[in-house]
Amino acid sequence: MNLSKSLYIRGIQCKKSLWLKKYRPELLTPPDAQAQAKFETGSQVGELALKLFSGGVMIPYSETTFNEKIELTKKYIAEGMSNIYEASFVYDGVFLMIDILHINDDGSMEIYEVKSSTEVKEVYLHDASIQYYVLNGLGFDVKRANIIHINNKYIREDELDVEKLFIVVDVTEEIKAMQNDISVYLKTFEQTLNDRDREPDVPIGPQCTNPYDCDAIEYCWRDVPDYSIFNISRLKTTKKFELYHNGIVHFHQLEDIYSFSLSQQIQITSELEQKETIDKDAIKEFLDTLTYPVYHLDFETFQQAIPEWKGVSPYMQIPFQYSIHIDYGDGRLEHREFLAQDGKDPRYELAKSLANDIPDNVTVLAYNAGFEKGVIQKLADQFSEFSLHLMSVYDNIKDLMIPFQKTHYYVPAMKGSYSIKYVLPAIVPEMQKAYEELSLVHHGGEAMQAFANLSKMDSETKEKYRKALLEYCKLDTLAMVKVLEKLQSI
Ligand code: SF4
């Protein structure tokens, strides 16, 4: 057997996934731009964490074979190096690289596994436990195993404080308790991989998305229709698979509809009878809370694992753009927008512009308003000169999502979702076409990527992307205007 640490983790999630990765990788979905960006973040965080253990030596990843990595590691240990980055070992068919290996004066070792997340997840214990297993098996004295993760409470001052950015968690006891299971896992993986010609018979299940979204979903879920019982809103995963394993995939196969919640019943019966559900009174009640002019607001944001600017926390939503459509309620519309310059902290200029664009006593409408409120609150906390005004905007925010979230307005095409991605094409189909016709930026993820990459673009490309960002965000608030019009027309 020849397993890397990542294949070991893959095998624990699902042995079929391990087999597919080894023998039928062409069936797996390649990582998308978002996954790539996450990978790059992980590399940056890993590199920064090395500063916690200065003066170490790196085992180079490229231009060395596995054997050379192992030999180099042996050499550095023999030379008495106290910190080795990407220290490489093989034992019992498992090859792995340890992010940071610290060697004490008495020769005992400490393992440090670096993660870009903000907590210790259960799967990380498997990461650390296999490292402990390998080192222990090779006869090393492992004193401690640790997970290093990002501290999301950290707020950057003028300088980045690496000691405060990271939290080191000792997981030695937990992973020692996991050691007996490892040989059982390895035996199972060996049996699975020995049978090269037979794909393991593993049914789809909660493991397909836990702890990671499996890259074989497209392949293994090919017989599950696009819209099925798996799309029943807020239905527990265990219940979904219970239904599935009883042969129930389609809505028409459901027997006891009354065992579902009221909103689930609305979704199911709407689909079966292809009928709309519209609670006019509830919608009117919502509309009565709005006064004109209505300021439709939408932010675009990005996050940084390693805060670049003073006052920023890891993974804080940093707004770089907004669009506002001012809807006077008599057919008149006015548009305002802001898009930050790239390469510098966008927050002050954005806060100033926002305070200028939205008066403090008007109705502000956002879709999924908790997000916009969170962004405004942080801006108010950071910039005291705008804080009174921004908090008044905050207090005036209403959520356009409410009528859909509460199923006051439901049509089958929403497919159990109240996200704008489903609501908009379902009730204002012409707007969907407008999104498809956008160039370069079509959704929030692309907007975030585009803004993050602006600094690396030549001026002509940058101009195109800036224009595309403005067009995209403008369409988002125009879409909200159309959704509100639709509610009013009921
Ligand atoms: S999609 Fe599910 S069943 Fe298929 S390999 Fe992945 S985890 Fe296993």
What phi-psi label fits residue 280: left (phi over 0), alpha (psi between -120 and 50 degrees) or beta?
alpha
SS percent in the chain: helix, strand, coil, step 5? 50, 15, 35
Residue 198 confidence class, pLDDT cut points 50, 70, 90: very high
Ligand 1 pocket, residue 207 CB under 6 Å: yes
Ligand 1 pocket, residue 480 CB under 6 Å: no
CB 337 within 8 A of CB 474: yes
Q: Does the domain made of 3-194 have the CATH classification 3.90.320.10?
A: yes
Closest approach atom of ligand 1 to CA 17: 5
Euclidean distance between CA atoms 392 and 4, whole angstroms: 54
Produce one character per residue of 380-405: b if its CB has 16 or more CB atoms within 10 Å, e if not: bebbeebbebbbbbbebbbbbbbbbe
Which pLDDT score, from 0 to 100, does residue 113 have?
98
CB 483 within 8 A of CB 422: no
**Residue with CA at minimum distance from ligand 1 atom 3:** 204
3-state secondary structure of 83: strand
The answer to which of 121-125, 385-389, 421-425 has the lowest mean pLDDT is 421-425
H-only helix segments in 143-201: 162-165, 172-176, 179-194
Euclidean distance between CA atoms 186 and 318, whole angstroms: 44
Euclidean distance between CA atoms 150 and 118, whole angstroms: 5
Which pLDDT score, from 0 to 100, does residue 33 have?
85
CA of 356 to the centre of ligand 1 (A): 51
User: Which residues lie below 8 Å from residue 386, measured CB to CB, with a gap of 6+?
Assistant: 351, 352, 354, 355, 379, 380
Residue 111's nearest CA partner among 78, 89, 79 is 89
Closest approach atom of ligand 1 to CA 15: 8
Counting every residue written for the chain, the total comes to: 490
CB 421 within 8 A of CB 413: no
Ligand 1 pocket, residue 217 CB under 6 Å: yes
Residue 136 confidence class, pLDDT cut points 50, 70, 90: very high
CA of 42 to the centre of ligand 1 (A): 24
Closest approach atom of ligand 1 to CA 203: 3
CA of 252 to the centre of ligand 1 (A): 26
Give the pLDDT mean for 18-36. Answer: 95
Condensed to tens digits (0 to 9), the pLDDT of residues 206-265 reads: 999 999 999 999 999 999 999 999 999 999 999 999 999 999 999 999 999 999 999 999
Q: Which residues pair with 147 in a beta bridge?
A: 113, 169
**Residue with CA at minimum distance from ligand 1 atom 1:** 217
Ligand 1 pocket, residue 208 CB under 6 Å: yes
**Residue with CA at minimum distance from ligand 1 atom 4:** 220
The identity of residue 339, as a single letter, is L
Euclidean distance between CA atoms 329 and 307, whole angstroms: 42
Instruction: Please choose from 207, 210, 212, 213 the residue to mutate so as to test ligand 1's pocket, defined by most ligand atoms within 8 A of CB.
Output: 207
3-state secondary structure of 106: coil
3-state secondary structure of 365: strand
Closest approach atom of ligand 1 to CA 215: 6
Q: Is pLDDT above 70 for 348?
A: yes
CB 219 within 8 A of CB 28: yes
Q: How would you classify the pairing of strands 318-327 and 333-339?
A: antiparallel
- What residue spans define the domains of the chain? 3-194, 222-275, 276-490
Arithmetic mean of pLDDT over the chain: 96
Q: How would you classify the pairing of strands 94-103 and 3-4?
A: parallel
CB 389 within 8 A of CB 360: yes
Residue 305: C-alpha distances to residues 127, 159, 248, 391, 456 (Å): 21, 15, 42, 27, 19
Euclidean distance between CA atoms 62 and 48, whole angstroms: 19
CA of 235 to the centre of ligand 1 (A): 21
Residue 2 confidence class, pLDDT cut points 50, 70, 90: confident
Q: Return the structure tokens found at 143.
A: 């004193």
Euclidean distance between CA atoms 100 and 151, whole angstroms: 19
3-state secondary structure of 241: helix
Q: What are phi and psi of 433, to 5 degrees?
A: -60, -40
Which pLDDT score, from 0 to 100, does residue 96 have?
97
Residue 34 confidence class, pLDDT cut points 50, 70, 90: confident
Condensed to tens digits (0 to 9), the pLDDT of residues 307-323 reads: 999 999 999 999 999 99
Which pLDDT score, from 0 to 100, does residue 261 have?
95
Euclidean distance between CA atoms 164 and 168, whole angstroms: 10
Condensed to tens digits (0 to 9), the pLDDT of residues 279-298 reads: 999 999 999 999 999 999 99
Which pLDDT score, from 0 to 100, does residue 1 have?
62
Which pLDDT score, from 0 to 100, does residue 313 have?
97
Q: Is pLDDT above 80 for 161?
A: yes
Residue 406's nearest CA partner among 288, 281, 275 is 281
Instruction: Please choose from 7, 23, 214 the residue to mutate so as to test ligand 1's pocket, defined by most ligand atoms within 8 A of CB.
Output: 214
Angle between helices 122-137 and 5-13 (to 10 degrees): 130
Ligand 1 pocket, residue 202 CB under 6 Å: yes
Ligand 1 pocket, residue 12 CB under 6 Å: no
**What is residue 102's DSSP assignment?**
E
CA of 244 to the centre of ligand 1 (A): 15
- 276-490: CATH number: 3.30.420.10
Closest approach atom of ligand 1 to CA 214: 6
CB 282 within 8 A of CB 266: no
Residue 160's nearest CA partner among 83, 52, 58 is 52
Q: Which residues pair with 410 in a beta bridge?
A: 277
Element (H, E) at 219: helix 217-220
